[in-house]
Chains A and B, each alone.
Chain A
């Protein structure tokens, strides 16, 4: 009985996980068709591009938010500025460069990958690889077939808790 229940639960869980996109997307797909009472909104593509550029820039007076996220006044001003520049025909690269010229490197939320900045991109990956390498090397060089206490490698008895094993020994010997 439990195995069938198990299968049912597993499938149910899987289906629910998989269906999450539908549930979540429905909330956003409906945006395509505004209701009759809503005002027609400005161009969606422009919005998306503004958000994309703004999410690369750091709000100058906030803790750690992007210009896209922040509700602060200067961020709203910057978003409108980006929109105007896009409408005037500037490319995203030019717009980002303009903000770099005004504020300096700190306005970018992610450091440009050049010079010393490369360290922040390379060190984590390098660190991982080095640690992984050390770990694998140690495993390979020391790997021996030790054998479990009763002489058989991988014996299930060996997988028990120390408590369980003690209990088991006692039980085998006839105690309880």
Chain B
């Protein structure tokens, strides 16, 4: 898993994480996803992430940029490559795998 090792190196370099959460209006599912994401970020990426929440109802034209079809969708823009996680992020383990933040690696660090 080369990608994983590369990410570790980036993290050690203090790379900024740039995340974007796409939602549509103030639905409970969006709120759940936002809360779940906050939890994960605070635990694993404290101090080195930037999170932007995009409401597609207000900016529909933004949906094509990241090819968003499902709501909610979390996009990891940085570090590269781009990763997409769709759903309410209720499965923390899967979310971490999706972000390539495997718990084992992080705890080892």
A, B from the same assembly: no
Query: B: which residues have CB within 8 A of A?
Result: none
